[in-house]
Chains A and B, each alone.
Chain A
Amino acid sequence: MHLTLEFGGGLELLLEKSTKVHKVDVPPMDGEVKATMKGLLSWVKSNLIKERPEMFIKGDSVRPGVLVLINDCDWELCGGLDAELEDKDVVVFISTLHGG
């Protein structure tokens, strides 16, 4: 499944070469019929985050203060961790924890 992931607000610093936009191919998660945000987060944690994962993940969700948008829509409206993803979705992560 092809996804475009964007990281902002300082989260890009946790990734290789601080790259903001990542076009990725995410394999189906074990035991999941459809890809969900929960599966994506664990994939991102193991495959993209290079340092300080605690700045991104807390428990099995994003750290509070990190905003998530799926196709420009607040993920809280899409089901949060249970939100289902489809091919070519754009998921944006923005941290609000870095001062203003």
Chain B
Amino acid sequence: MEKFRVEHLNFHYGDKLALSDISISISDRRITALIGPSGCGKSTFLRCLNRMNDTIRGARVEGRVLLDGQDIYARGTDVVELRKRVGMVFQRPNPFPQSIFDNIAFGPRVLGLEGDLHQIVEESLRGAVLWDEVKDKLKQDALGLSLGQQQRLCIARTIAVKPEVILMDEPCSALDPIATLQIEELMQSLKEEYSIVIVTHNMQQASRVSDFTGFFWLGEMVEFDVTERVFTRPAQRITEDYITGRAG
């Protein structure tokens, strides 16, 4: 089932065209990886999916981004509600300087979500496979956790507001290999409930975790296909050159 449909998306930073005519369908409850060299537009594209680029001066979007059939760039779209539905995890873990509990409870409190807050916190931490490690120290400062735990905390914080899509912008680039594998395992369990779109520089990671892969090159999506095919027999020469380390 389709979660996002992007149609002829152009993105301008002032005079610069950063994304050109991107059309793609992102499946529900699947992991979609976006790969490509630095500056190719993959993070810009990711941020178009929950309008994180809105605040950039001179930024302009053309085309349509449909979430469950509704254009998120349509006039009158509630951007706060959009970002609740489409959450984001960033490159470096960015917990608030608060307790573990308050980090997770932050979103539900701000959004006034109904339900038992303790239950939401526990469910979110369990969902992020962090509960067993922190259940006895929920009042402790989140910054005392390891980087890998902090990133899982950020994922728990994201799922605490019950999103439908999780965007991940190089979520493992600051983590060691074990913490990276833990996040990757976590992604596999998260995709049972959420659609995930991940930007990664690590092609092995893209090939390990994702169901679909899109390859960006100079602001264009050159190839989009099931991951297995992209990494074994890509259709485009430039994709092959990039993933075999001969371009980019």
Bound pair: A and B? no
Interface residues of A (CB under 8 A from B): none
Instruction: Give residues in B with beta carbon < 8 Å to A.
Output: none
